[in-house]
Amino acid sequence: MSKPLQAIRGMNDILPEQTPLWRYFEGTVANLLDGYGYRQMRMPIVEFTELFKRSIGEVTDIVEKEMYTFDDRNGDSLTLRPEGTAACVRSVLEHGLSGGGQTQKLWYIGPMFRHERPQKGRYRQFHQIGVEVFNVDGPDIDAELIVLTWRLWGLLGIRDAVKLELNSLGTSAARAVYRDALVEFLTAHADQLDEDSRRRMGSNPLRVLDSKAPETQAVLVHAPKLADYLDEESRVHFEGLKARLDAAGVPYVINPKLVRGLDYYSKTVFEWVTDQLGSQGTVCAGGRYDGLVEQMGGKPTPGVGFAMGIERLVLLLETLGKVPVEIARTVDVYLCAFGEAAELAALALSERLRDQLPGLRLQVNAGAGSFKSQFKKADKSGALFALILGEDELAQQVVGCKPLRGQGEQQSIAWSALADHLANCANQA
Ligand code: ATP
Ligand code: MG
C-alpha cells in the first residue's frame, strides 16, 4: 500500500479541537469591527503577480523570496496573495469605492501565502484579519485603528501581554532626503556592515535599520536618525496621533528603528508585539500608505491599515490560558435513544425541539451502543443535559432529563413540556 499523502510543509489543517478558539477570536474581531462601522470585503486569493510587485516593492523580503508565483494555463503570471492590502486597493480602484473622496472603512479575513521557513508562529499558509481605511488623512483615524485593537486586546484579556511600538516614516519626500543621508553614512561604513545590509544599502537602505546583525547594529548607533528628518506635516501628524493615544489611555513606546518590511508606508507605522511567542512576536502591524493608491494608478488617496496574524493571536491566547471555557462546549443537549421504536420517536422529537428552540445545539446519538457508552459520550460532549428515551419513556411519552453539569436529579418530562423545561433551565443557568 502506498504511503498516505501529507499536507504541504507550513500549511496546516485546523482541526475540530482548534476551530472553537478560531471562531471565538474571529467572531470577537468581527463584532468589534461592526461596532466601529467597518464593512467586510472578500477578495480573490490569487492575483496577477504584477499587483504585488508594484505595490509591495521589488526589493522586499516578500517579493524577493517569499511569493508563491506560477504561470496559469494562459501563460499569465499569478501569485497566491502574500498579504491583503494590495488586493484591497486593487478592488477599491476597480470598483470606484474611493471615488469622490468618499471614506471607506473596510476589513477582510483569509489565508495568505509566503514561502518562509516554517516554525512556531510562522507558516507558509497563514491567516490574517486586515483593516484598511481610505480617504481620511488626519491622525484621528490612525488613532481609531490603534484604539480598536487596544479594545480587542481588552476583550480577549491579553492587554498585559502586548506592547505598542510606534514610529513615523515621514512623507515620501522627507524620506527621500533621509535615504540619501543614510546611504551616504552606510557607504562610508560599508566594510563594517553584514553582507545582507551591504546588498540592501543600494536598493532599500531603510531596511538596513532593522537588520538583526550585531555588527550592523553597532554601526547604526551613529547613523542619521529618521526623526531628525521628519517634515513639518509628518511631525504634526505624529504629535496628533500621540495626543489621541494619550487621551484614550493607550500606552505606547516610540521605536525609531521600526521601518516595516513593505515599501508602501508613509508617516505612521506601528506594531503590537509580545514577548510570549519567541521570535515571532509581532501579532498585529500596520501603518499609513498615502502614496499607494496613486502608485497603483488611482487618484491621490490617503490610506491607512493594519493586519493581524490569527495563528499568532490564537497561540497567544493558548499560551496565556485565555481560552474561555465555554467555547469548548459545542453541545447543549445530548439525546440518547434505545431501541428501534425509541429511535424513530427521538428523531421526530429532536426535530420538534429544533423548531421550538432555534439555536439549540442538540446531538442525537440514536442507536450507538449501550446505555453506559452513550452516557459516557453525552458527558464527554460537554452537554448540559442528557435526555434519555427508552422503551418505558416511549410508552409514557416522556423523556428522562438528567443535568450533567450542575446539581439536580434526573426528572421525567413530558414531550410536550420539554422545550419549555429546557428553556427554563437555560434561563436559570
Ligand atoms: P514578521 O516580521 O514576523 O515576518 P511581517 O512584518 O512580515 O512579520 P506583516 O506583513 O506585517 O508581517 O503581516 C502582518 C501580521 O501577519 C504579522 O504581524 C504576523 O502576525 C502575521 N504574519 C506575517 N507573516 C506570517 C507567517 N509567515 N506566519 C504567520 N503569521 C504571519
Ligand atoms: Mg515577514
Per-residue pLDDT at 368: 66
**Within 10 Å of residue 139's Cβ, how many Cβ atoms?**
22
What is the reported pLDDT for 103? 97
pLDDT tens track for 287-315: 999 999 999 999 999 999 999 999 999 99
Give the 3-state secondary structure of 271-336.
EEEECCCCCCCEEEEEEECCCHHHHCCCCCCCEEEEEEEHHHHHHHHHHCCCCCHHHHCCCCEEEE
| Ligand 1 atom at minimal distance to the Cα of residue 313 | 20
Ligand 2 mean position, distance from CA 86 (Å): 16
Domain range annotation of the chain:
19-171+231-319, 329-422
Length of the chain: 429
Ligand 1 atom, smallest distance to 121 CA: 29
Residue numbers in the chain where pLDDT is lower than 70: 261, 366-368, 429
Determine the pLDDT at residue 429. 66
Nearest CA to ligand 1 atom 19: 309
- Best residue among 9, 128, 270, 273 to mutate for probing ligand 1's pocket (most ligand atoms within 8 Å of CB) is 128
Q: Which residues contact 17 (CB under 8 A, 6 or more apart)?
A: none
Q: What pLDDT sits at residue 58?
A: 83
19-171+231-319: what fold? BirA Bifunctional Protein; domain 2 (3.30.930)
pLDDT the model gives residue 367: 63
Q: 19-171+231-319 with 329-422: one CATH topology?
A: no
265 annotated ligand binder: yes
What pLDDT shows up at residue 173?
A: 85
In short, whether 338's Cβ falls inside 6 Å of ligand 1 is: no
Q: Which CATH class is domain 329-422?
A: alpha beta
pTM of the prediction?
A: 0.92
